[in-house]
Amino acid sequence: MRPDFWPALRSPIPWALLALAATMPFLLPNYYLHILTITLVYAALASAWNIVGGIAGQISLAHSLFVGAGAMLASALLVKLGINMWLGMIIAAAASAAMGAAVSFIDYRFRLGHLSFALITMAFAEMAEIYVTNTEFLGGASGLFLPKDKGDLLAFQFGGINGVYWIMLGMAAACVAVNFAILSSPLGYNLRSIRDNENAAQAIGVGLLRNKTLAMTISAVLTSIIGTIYARYLAFVDPYLLVSPVLTIEIVLFATVGGLGTALGPALGAFILAPLGEILRGHLGGFLPGLHYFVYGLVVVGVILLMPAGVWPSLRDRVLRKPAAAGN
C-alpha cells in the first residue's frame, strides 16, 4: 500500500459521511430515498467499472454482461431451482469473473487496440442481451418475478427500501474503497502504466495479461454482486433494463463526467447525474415529453466542456492547487 492509504482510512471524514448517509432512511420521504438508492447503485457500478475503464484505460462496454449475470442468473437460480440467493450471488459472481477473464484473454491473444476492445466488448454485450431474452431458464424476454421481500436476511431479503439502501450504501463505499486500495498498491501503478502506454509498461516489467485480467476480474465480481442486489430491490428483473448495452453507456458516462481513473470521481459523477436525470424526468417529463433529456444533455455537454478531465480532478486541483499527478 502507498503510505497515504491507511491514514486516509483512519481519517474520521469518510466514516462521518458514511454515518450521515446511513441516517437518510429516517429523514427522506420514500420517493427521494428511492432516487438515492438508484444513485448508489450507479455510483457502485461506475466505481466498479472504473477499475477497468478508468485506472487501466480499457474502455469495456461489456459490463452489462456482469450486471446481467448478477441479476438474471442469481434470480433464475432462486426462482427456477430454489437456490438461496446468497449462493446464487456467489455463483453469478464466479460466472462473471470467468467471463471477465475470458474477455481479457481474447484482448491479450489478439492484441486488440483500444477501439477494437471497445467494439468487441460491445458485441459481447449485444449477444448477451439476445441470449438472455431467448433463454427460458433466465426468464426470456418477459423477465422474472422474485418472491416477496419478507425481510429474511438469510434469504437475501432486506425488508424493503431501507434495508436495500443500507446494503447499497455499504456496497458503493466498498467499491470506492477497492478503487482507492488498487490505486495505492502495485496493481494500481501497473494498471496506470498500461493505460498510458502498453509497450513502455512491458519494457519496465509490467505483464499485460496478468494485470489486465486481475483488473477485469475484480471489476466483474463487484459489478455482478451489485447486479444481484439491484435485482432484489427491483423484485422484477427485466432483461431489457439489466442486460442492456444502454446500461453500460450510462455507467461509462457517469464515470467519465466524474473523473476517469480517480477513486472518487466515478461515484461523484453518479451522484451528480443519476438524481439529476430522475428529478428532471419527474418535474419536466409530464410538462413537455423529451424536455428532460434535452436539459440533461445540456448539463452533460456543459460539464465536459468546462471540466474535460472530469468533475472530481478539476475540483481537487482547484482546492489543492497542485498538478494532477497522484491519480486518486
| Residues within the interface to other proteins (CB under 8 A) | 1-3, 185-186, 189-190, 192-193, 195-197, 199-208, 261, 322-327
CB of 120 to other proteins, least distance (A): 22
Nearest to other proteins of 6, 236 (CB atom): 6
Nearest approach, Cβ of 60 to other proteins (angstroms)? 19
208 in Cβ contact with 202 (< 8 Å): yes
Distance CA 266, CA 254 (A): 6
CB of 324 to other proteins, least distance (A): 8
Say which residues have a Cβ less than 8 Å from residue 24's Cβ, sequence separation at least 6: 33, 36, 165
CB nearer to other proteins: give 100 or 188: 188
- For residues 23 and 199, which CB has a smaller minimum distance to other proteins in the complex? 199
Say which amino acid occupies 38.
Answer: I
143 versus 258: smaller Cβ distance to other proteins: 258
Within 8 A by CB and 6+ apart from 245, the residues are 61, 64, 122, 125, 126, 129
d(CA 126, CA 111): 22
CB nearer other proteins, residue 113 or residue 140: 113
For residues 14 and 327, which CB has a smaller minimum distance to other proteins in the complex? 327
Closest to other proteins by CB, 1 vs 98, is: 1
Give me the residues paired with residue 144 across strands.
Answer: 237
258 Cα distance to chain centroid: 13
| Nearest distance, CB of residue 103 and other proteins, angstroms | 20
Q: How far is the CB of 309 from other proteins (least distance, A)?
A: 9
Residue 2 or residue 34: which is nearer to other proteins going by CB?
Answer: 2
Cβ 2 to other proteins shortest distance, Å? 6
CB of 57 to other proteins, least distance (A): 9
Shortest reach from residue 250's CB to other proteins, in Å: 25
